[in-house]
Structure 1
Amino acid sequence: MSATVQTGYFFMPEHIILVGASERPQSLGERIFSHLLGSSYQGKITPVNLRHSSVAGIPSYSSLSKIPGQADLVVAVIPPDHYDSLFKACRKKDLRHIILIQDWENLPPESCKNARSIIQKHHGDELNISACNSAGIQLPSLNLNIGTQADYPAGHIALLTGHSTVSRNINHLLNTLHQGVSRHISLNYDLSPTTSADWLNRFGHNRHTKVAVTHYNPAENQRELFSAIRHFTRHTPLILLSTHYTDNTDKAILRSLSRHCNFQLVFNTSELEAALKAHLSSIPVITNPTILSDTPIEWLRTTADTCELTLDLPTDVPSIRQGCIGSSPTPARIHRLALEQLQNPHTQALLGIISPDTPDAYSIHQTLDNLAQKTSKPILVSYRFSDGLTRFNTPEEALLTLYFRNQTAYLQQVQNTPAPAKTGRLKTPKSKNIDKAIASSQTELMAEALYLPPCQTQKHNAVQFRFSRHAIYGNILTAHYNGKTEAALPPFTTLDIQRLSQFAELDNTSVLNQFLHSLNTLIHNNQHIGDIILNYNGSLYSSTIIPEIVEKPVAPTTKIPKKAVQTLEQAAAKMQSAAAYLQQKNPAAAEFLRNTGEAASELLHPKTETPEIQNVLAPYPSQTDTFVLPNGNTLHIRALEPEDAEAKQKFVRLLPAADRYTRFMTHTNELPLPTLARLTRPDFHTECAWAAFASDGRIVAVSRYSRINRNECEFGITLAPEARKTGLAGKMMSLIIQTATQQGYQTMNAEILKENAPMLKLAEKSGFTVTPSETDRGLYQASLDLNEWQNSNKNK
């Protein structure tokens, strides 16, 4: 039976069992139990302690089996050596949700290694385990602190980190901004089988959260992580904090992912502070701030260029020279000059810069604050002792905040932009030609098979596009031009072509278009050549191919006899048992036995090849199909791609008005561009859309489903009038049911208008249970158990 995760267990627990609760001063069990007791948490807390019948005056139990009733959460602060027995007891009592909290950094490496093995063994079908750092979990809205750090103030920021110190630093930053936390968890990214992606999915849409800060973990499954981020940012802004080392290529890839998934990317605390101010304040988009400063300020232009801003440094001799108003301005003079600039129709916003040692500095600050209350144009203030979301300690911080505010608007614009249709004549490489070229090891034949320019050696290339494999993100495409790096991730689209050609200042995109099309084909065929480089110098293109070196595993020269294998296996097992026994008494001997045992196991069972790195973005489904209409016309069915946006819009426009209303439940002649962009760019890791195309390229049917949560999805189907009563609807329904089942969904749902009789009939025929909606009399609720559907189809 699967341990279905319900967020109530974590964010609204009514009963918590604390295994390892203690009164011993400064022990982990005492610190966490003291925080629980010191809060005003209204739920039930049950301590478990082997030696004492009560802890802090509260009745305690020596084992989980003796605790009456059930609990929402089991929090364990015991040593990892006891995890195996803990998990067995949890399984026996049907306690499915376990939080392990430990000061992992102060434990021996071997203890962490053993903990990982035990956790991986038990996590899964019946137990859902999260390994946390000592910072643990805090839910300030419930006054719940399950950790060693002081209570976080309640607020609107959700925190998800992989280190206790990172949590502490962010909380300190929020305190300086007078902001608080809605929910917080600090995972041990190395040990926890429940990842940051899993917890983002649990966070879901919460009315108390205005923005989330997630500490980036490059070691977990990147496809699942960025899919979770993409779904999360559809309802809540997210800032991704990267604290690991990143080179220019890594940064370019993460920026590409930020465009795809709509999150802000920051690399340090200063950037995080600016990004938080940008999200939490009401600052509008500002690209050309007007500066008034009591010190020469032209040097700030360099920072402005980095932040993609243009400064307006007004000059009105003798009052103002390049934004500088003199070293000892009075509050009255500041008020007059600021008012003059604000009345200028070209002024977007005013940034007042005050030196800390300026006479009347505080009064000037107050004057600008009061003026800000009386004008519609933003007034930002840079003053060392400033306080507030639109007040900054340095002018650089002010400009960085404007950069992140503008980036937020840009990223949303990217989300709302549909991909243009494919243009030009594109040649699709043939798989057999590619295989033949690879077998020949001749780079000239490889370039020819991919329809790329001839291979030539160039001493200097103005632009270089390089296709390669990254150790974390899989296949990537990087562009290098003018000392800068840009990146794109497959599957490549016409939006990537637009961005890359703009980055490289290309007038003609036909060669780049063919290059990306050939790369998509190569990836779709799962064929590997190596690094493929497209060089551009002036008007000349050339190719460079660096073939992949495949190392074949060396076959064993001798075969170990079966009896010897059994003897070695028994010896290896005994060595591991002996190592566990000697761990406390003689660590050196235990380590020797453990290493010897592992060496024996490796001899018997050599490690298999490292699994291939997954591309971070899910590919389009490769499945295609056909359907023959009664009139003999053949339809081609495939996954809906971003470049189908124009065809999708035409399809919607040609639908009868009544059909558009029953499908979208609103009166519309066409889809708004943001909706069109979203519907034609599904996340194929957790969503899918299928389309049936006529021979002239017209769409005549679309079926899709979108994610509600990790277990549920919602479907929709639309057919052109010519395709109705042909059996096509059943075909399109079958495709989305199959794909949703493959992606692990348990239930498929839909809300259907009562007057939409054809859809109600299709749902019932497809096995859905159709019932009147409990919330809207004009709707029916259709629901299909995908597990039952799968089992019934297996038996057919």
Structure 2
Amino acid sequence: MSVRNLQHLFAPRSVALIGASARPGSMGATLLANLQGGGFKGKLFAVNPKYKQLGDLPCYASVADLPEAPDLAVICTPAATVPQLVRQLGERGTRAAVVLTSGLARGRDARGRSLRQATLDAAHPYLLRLLGANSAGLLVPGLGLNASVAHSGALPGRIAFVSQSGSLMTGVLDWARTRGIGFSHFISLGDSADVDLGDVLDHLASDGNAGAILLYVDQLRYARKFMSAARAAARSKPVIVLKSRSDTDGARPAASESGALATEDDVFDAAIRRAGMLRVHTTEQLFAAVETLAYARVLHGERLAIVSNGLGPGVLARDALRYGGGVAATLSPESVTRLDAVLPAGWNGAQPGNPVRASPVNLLGGAPPERYAAALDVLLADPQVDAVLIVHSPTATVDSRDVANAIAPLARAASRPILSCWLGGASVVAARAIAAEARMPTYRTPEDGVNGFLQLVNYRRNQNLLMEVPPSMAGHMAPDRSAARALVREAIAAKRLLLSDPETKAILRAYGLALVETRAAVDADAAVAAARAIGFPVAVKILTPDVMHKSDVGGVTLDLDSEDAVRAAAVRMRARLGELFPQARFDGFSVQAMCRRTHGHELIVGAALDPVFGPVLVFGQGGVAVEVLDDYSVGLPPLNLVLARDLVDRTRVARLLAGYRNRPAANLDAVLAVLIQVSRLISDIPEIVELDINPLVVDSRGAIVLDARMRLALADRSGSTLDRLAIRPYPRELEETIEWQGAPLLLRPIRPEDGPAHLAFFDALTPDDVRYRMFVRIRELQPSQLARFTQIDYDREMAFIATRKNADGVFETLAVARVVADPDNTSAEFAVTVRSDLKGMGLGRIMMEKLIRYCRARGTGEIVGEALPQNSRIVAMVKKLGFDVTIDREDGTRNMRLALR
């Protein structure tokens, strides 16, 4: 990932158009007209040997003839000329170019390289960044820059739009202009030969002109890079994604049920959710989401109250909420009493003796503006209401503007979201404008208003996943990774890539999963012997790698209570397989102890390998009908308890697991433990490409694996085994135990589960130590700050803690050393904090040396930091470690720098 030189692309002071033309309708003429007509205040150069002058603009014959090196070049010449032009620009000093030319991937140069590769090779020595090829261009309305072939410009605004489709870009520009929607940036990525989604997200995340980021995604190639950039951007501003659905879903071959379930679209949804972004499915939803997220207050719950001046529109909104999976607010008794006092009788459809407390609140036709304000005032005070949707239908007796003016002051002062729907056309235009000025999201239909609220709900859920600190995972068994790896290596050496149930269970056992006793048998006699050893009753299942569902060939028989029954079942299964699938391989039988769980639920837990995002996890309702039930969720590893719980909660079976009637609740902790251990397994062992645990039977006592199968493949040795994961897992290899003050001290990367210990660490700091670290006085850490400190992206930053057990046997944090690198890994900013009562004992130096070793190994160019003048300890320490320290003349801040390259 890299943001190097992107400032020349998105904020150039001079632009050269290479291929400028006077020929009407040509790309060169269109670009020239747009560059001149956009109001760009910088220098503009035209390059084309055919012209001396283009209008009032001098035209130069070549790049070499330009009076100076332009910050940005825009290239629209034939494909064969592009590599040489890029080389000339790099030699001249240009550091960014937009390439609109198409066909570079197909064309070849004299050396046989694709023109695309030749262009990259030409740019590389000069760090010249390329947008495109086949880009539709770039607009930065705040600079008056229109380096695009769009037929209309963009209005200035706070939205950054990034598109992988040039044709969609021009259509959206036209659509947005008619609706008065403005942009900070409008970027067509084209082929993304160099600058891609990850690079642009990194740049826009720190660009103050972009208040929200919209992405149109067609396909992704570098999931790890994208996820790292997306998670960083989503922490700072709303990121909304529109992606076309894959037309290959369901067609991907898989040797497992998990592989068949986890479609490309499911995996992309899981990635967007994990990154804290919001996915939408239409262009209308895309821009509606921007207004909703930009205007609405922060949502702290999911209960919506609906207010309408007529029963019909209110009921339509309520139905849309119900069918969308939303929650209608149930009003408190106090609110009902207050509404009874200010609204006409029958406002909630109540009958004598049967008061109705759920919304919609019907203000009745002809409701005056004061009635809207009175009802809204009551609802905003109700602790059982998290947001309010006001639906207004125009009437002959009440001016819609008066209604908007009545509720606008309440909307401005409210601490929770208020959304408004103004039904109608010209008669409510002014009301919509008043509502928008009061920062109320406005919609044209009740259904649109509800959909806006549901976008808030989904965005809140995704942000919570990004920010929530999970509880400790203490008590979870540490896996025997070496034993599992040995079993996998042994199977691959024997070329057994599709593992049977007994072989898979041996690997799962190393990760602490509870398993029903299972033995493999090569024939009927061996099956009888296995049953005798296990004890009756048993289940016998046929082993064949060529049939995914054993029950399809009569390959499962349960409750066998004698040797004769076992032998007869085995013989019958073998014959049945030969009749139905004569080509299928026969590997013997699996003999299992019968698992009797009267109130057990059958679940599936599995893993599959996505071609873009790598390993993914599947959870849902299991059994023989798993694919028909269509009740499953997909997530990305690694998991913690919060993420595992979310994976469960997104299925319908979660409600069954909670218990109902006289059926006790299932042991959810056991299910979460299985998910986390499976997440660890597929993160640890790259050779595992598919896994099915089906069924995993769970009841109030726990969870036990009945059936399992696994597919292996030779791991790609071209890079790190962790590179296949879209999100880098906890880097266990960086753990280190040292002796300190006569006792062992563990130095390790911070984990999300360290939240409670980190709070205790913060509380143990003196106010001055907090100020030295934060540069301001802070009394307590907010939840979002705690999540930011403990839930880090190990690809981008590192935080090491020094930890040991206290007298109560609980691990405590004694010191924290943190380093955050820029996306290019050229410079990394550090901070070290030692618990106030442990200063002067060498712990700060230990942590700093750990950071330096880490940065050297990672190839970081330099480590930098700042310190207040009063923080003499840190300054003295880093000087001993070789840092250069300079003093800022304005405020006396100490600037510290250690060159590592």
TM-score range, shorter chain: 0.7 to 0.9
Tell me which of 369, 372, 375 is aligned to 1:338: 372
Distance in 2, Cα, partners of 1:335 & 1:688: 56
CA deviation string 1:577-611 (max 9, x = no partner) = xxxxxxxxxxxxxxxxxxxxxxxxxxxxxx99999
**What are the superposed Cα offsets for residues 642-688 of structure 1, whole Å, 9 maximum, x if unpaired?**
11222222223334444333223344455333222111111111111
Map 1:328-367 to 2 at 5 A. 332-333=366-367, 335=369, 338-339=372-373, 341-342=375-376, 344-345=378-379, 346=382, 349-354=388-393, 360=396, 365-367=400-402
- What is the one-letter code of the residue matched to 1:181? F
Cα distance change of structure 1 residues 776 and 218 upon mapping to structure 2, 3 Å threshold: farther
One-letter code of the match for 2:420?
Answer: L
Q: What amino acid is aligned across from residue 180 of structure 2 in structure 1?
A: H
Aligned to 2:871: 756
**Deviation of 1:307 (Å):** 4.9
Alpha-carbon separation, structure 1, partners of 2:267 and 2:890: 44
Distance 1:366 1:4, change over 3 A: closer
Q: Is the 8 A contact 1:418 1:642 kept in 2?
A: yes
2:892 is the counterpart of 1:782: no
Shift of 1:177: 4.0
Q: How many Å separate the matches in 1 of 2:320 and 2:108? A: 48
**CA apart distance, 1:301:** 3.6
Q: Could you say which residue in structure 2 is the equivalent of 1:159?
A: 161
Aligned counterparts of 1:546 and 1:669: Cα–Cα separation in 2: 53
**How far off is 1:403 after superposition?**
1.6
Distance of 1:608 and 1:412 partners within structure 2: 34
- Distance change (3 Å), C-alpha of 1:344 and 1:749: same
Give per-residue Cα distances to partners, 1:335-392, cap 9 Å, x unaligned.
46535533544475342253xxx7649x653343233235446461241425545332
SS at match of 1:767: coil
Say whether 1:404 aligns with 2:564.
Answer: no
1:535 aligns with 2:691: no
The 2-side partners of 1:43 and 1:312 are apart by 58
Partner of 1:192, secondary structure, is coil
Aligned to 2:216: 215
- Distance apart, 1:133 and its partner CA: 4.4
Q: Does residue 619 of structure 2 align to residue 479 of structure 1? A: yes
TM-aligned CA deviation for residue 137 of structure 1: 0.7
Q: Provide the secondary structure at the position in 1 that maps to 2:30.
A: helix
Q: Which has the higher mean CA deviation after the structures are superposed, 224-233 or 75-84? A: 224-233
- Give yes or no for the alignment of 1:651 onto 2:761: yes
* Deviation of 1:14 (Å): 1.8
Tell me, yes or no, if structure 1 residue 488 matches structure 2 residue 490: no
In the alignment, which residue of structure 1 is the partner of 2:708? 545
Matching residue's letter, 2:31: I
Question: How far off its partner does 1:753 sit?
Answer: 1.6
Aligned residue for 1:717, secondary structure, equals: strand
The gaps in structure 2 that reach 5 residues or longer are: 250-261, 337-342, 351-358, 492-498, 519-540, 542-549, 552-599, 622-628, 658-665
Q: Which residue of structure 2 lines up, in the alignment, with residue 524 of structure 1?
A: 684
Q: Aligned in 2, Cα 1:265/1:86: closer, same or farther, shift over 3 Å?
A: same
**1:281 lines up with 2:295 in the alignment:** yes
Q: Which SS does the other structure have where 1:698 is aligned?
A: strand
Q: Could you tell me which residue of structure 1 aligns to residue 327 of structure 2?
A: 309
The answer on whether the counterparts of 1:249 and 1:485 sit within 8 Å (CA) in structure 2 is no
Decide whether the 8 Å contact of 1:473 with 1:613 is kept in 2.
no
Unmatched segments (≥5 aa) in structure 1? 554-606, 788-796
Q: Show the counterpart of 1:701.
A: 815
In structure 2, do the counterparts of structure 1 residues 658 and 202 end up closer, same or farther at CA, with 3 Å as the change threshold?
closer
Aligned residues: 723
- What amino acid maps onto 1:137 in structure 2? L
Write the letter of the residue equivalent to 2:616: I
Taking structure 1 as the reference length, what is the TM-score of the superposition?
0.81
- Residue 239 and residue 496 in structure 1: after superposition, are their counterparts in 2 closer, same or farther (change >3 A)? same
Q: CA deviation at 1:293?
A: 5.2
After TM superposition, the structure 1 = structure 2 runs for residues 367-446 of structure 1, keeping only pairs within 5 Å, are: 367-373=402-408, 375-376=410-411, 378=418, 380-385=420-425, 387=429, 388=432, 389=436, 390-436=441-487, 439=490, 441=499, 442-446=503-507
1:218 aligned counterpart, secondary structure: coil
Change (3 A) 1:622 1:123: farther
Alignment of 1:194-213 (within 5 A): 194-213=195-214
1:6-25 to 2 correspondences below 5 Å: 6-25=5-24
Residue in 2 that maps onto 1:616: 726
CA drift of 1:304 comes to 0.4
Report the CA distance shift for 1:511/1:241 in structure 2 as closer, same or farther (over 3 A).
closer
Q: Is the 8 A contact 2:764 2:836 kept in 1?
A: no
Question: Are residues 730 and 26 of structure 1, via their aligned partners in 2, closer, same or farther at CA, if it must alter by over 3 Å?
Answer: same
Q: Alpha-carbon deviation of 1:44? A: 1.1
Q: Which amino acid aligns with 1:79?
A: P
Change (3 A) 1:164 1:433: closer
The question of whether the paired residues in 2 share the 8 Å contact of 1:19 and 1:77 is answered with: yes
SS class of match (1:219): coil
Q: Which residue of 1 aligns with 2:282?
A: 268
1:747 aligns with 2:862: yes
Aligned residue number for residue 176 of structure 2 = 174
Alignment of 1:494-505 (within 5 A): 494-503=641-650, 504=654, 505=657
Q: RCO (CA 8 Å, sep 6+): is it higher in 1 or 2? A: 2
CA contact under 8 A between 1:307 and 1:400: conserved in structure 2? no
CA contact (8 A) 1:77 1:101 kept: yes
Superimposed CA distance per residue, residues 279-311 of structure 1 (whole angstroms, 9 cap, x where no aligned partner): 232456373222425463535444203152316
Tell me the distance in 2 between the aligned counterparts of 1:324 and 1:528: 52
User: 2:669 matched to which residue of 1?
Assistant: 509
In the TM superposition, residue 187 of structure 1 has moved relative to its aligned partner by 1.0
Question: What secondary structure sits across from 2:39 in the alignment?
Answer: coil
CA distance in 2, matches of 1:3, 1:412: 25
Establish whether residue 296 from structure 1 lines up as the match of residue 312 from structure 2. yes
Moved more, 85-94 or 42-51: 85-94
User: Partners in 2 of 1:179 and 1:754 — Cα distance?
Assistant: 47
764, 771, 775: which one pairs with 1:661? 771
1:174-199 C-alpha deviation (Å, 9 max, x unpaired): 335422011111011x3522111112
CA contact (8 A) 1:134 1:148 kept: no
Cα deviation 1:393-436 (Å, max 9, x = unaligned): 22111111112223344444444422211132414224134423
CA drift of 1:633 comes to: 1.4
Deviations 1:118-149 (A, max 9, x none): 23333434132221545311111111111111
The DSSP-based 3-state class of the residue aligned with 1:198 is helix
* Larger displacement relative to structure 2 (450-459 or 529-538): 450-459
Q: Which residue of 2 aligns with 1:115?
A: 115
Give the alignment partner of residue 828 of structure 2, picking from 710, 713, 717: 713
Q: What residue in structure 1 maps to residue 752 of structure 2?
A: 642
Distance 1:370 1:522, change over 3 A: closer
Q: Give a deviation string over 1:16-48, Cα, whole Å, max 9, x none.
A: 111101101111011001111223212111111
The aligned residue for residue 587 of structure 1 is none
The answer to whether the 8 Å contact 2:671/2:698 transfers is no
Give, as a single letter, the amino acid of the residue that structure 2 aligns with 1:381: C
Preserved CA contact (<8 Å) 2:309 2:367: no
Give the Cα separation in 1 of the matches to 2:105 and 2:241. Answer: 31
1:733 deviates by 1.9
